[in-house]
Amino acid sequence: MQRQMVITVMLEDRPGIIADVTGAIYELNGDLADINQSLLCGYLTMTLIATFTDDINVENIRQQLSTIESEDSFEAIIREIKSPLRSDAGSGLPEKTYIVTVQGKNRSGLVYGISSFCYEHDINILDLSTTLSDNQYTMVLQLDLSKIVDIKKLREELDDYADTAGMHVMMQHYDIFRVTNEVTLI
């Protein structure tokens, strides 16, 4: 029997953090699945999924991570996944996955507004990234539109919302976005 864990780590960025965290998991014979990490305002946040033998629990992982030396306070959240993920669980996106890019002058409530729009239309946000540069706010959202019957109508409503909010919005199917924006790894 195996246990799957979701582990989130946050601390001030420095070289070697990823090696330290993945090394701690390796020391417990953990097998890494998915990792997502980002750097914001000098802080690294990493979320990963790892599988361990049944004898490893949350406290064992917390103790192993506590051996990582850091000048900054080190925060970790560890949760056991009660229903283990299938090995192919993260391998595919919903067929109706779209990318929405939103740009506008920076002001309070932009993310709240677009996320509320999604909620009101029963749209699940799969991924979200934002950037602020020269008072220009940019959001890139990966959305699951599986519950949307009329994509054209949704586009019109999104355009109306964007006009009202003073933003520019572009929506395209994930396949088109991927072909025009991603670099393929060999």
Residue ranges making up the domain that contains 41: 2-81
- 103 and 174 both lie in a single domain: yes
Q: Is residue 177 part of a domain?
A: yes
- 74 and 101 both lie in a single domain: no
Residues in the chain with pLDDT values less than 70: 84-91, 182-186
**Cα 156 to chain center, whole Å?**
27
Q: Is residue 89 part of a domain?
A: no
**Furthest CA-CA distance within the chain:** 56
The domain spanning residue 20 has which CATH number? 3.30.70.260
- 57 and 133 both lie in a single domain: no
- 43 and 109 both lie in a single domain: no
Q: Is residue 120 part of a domain?
A: yes
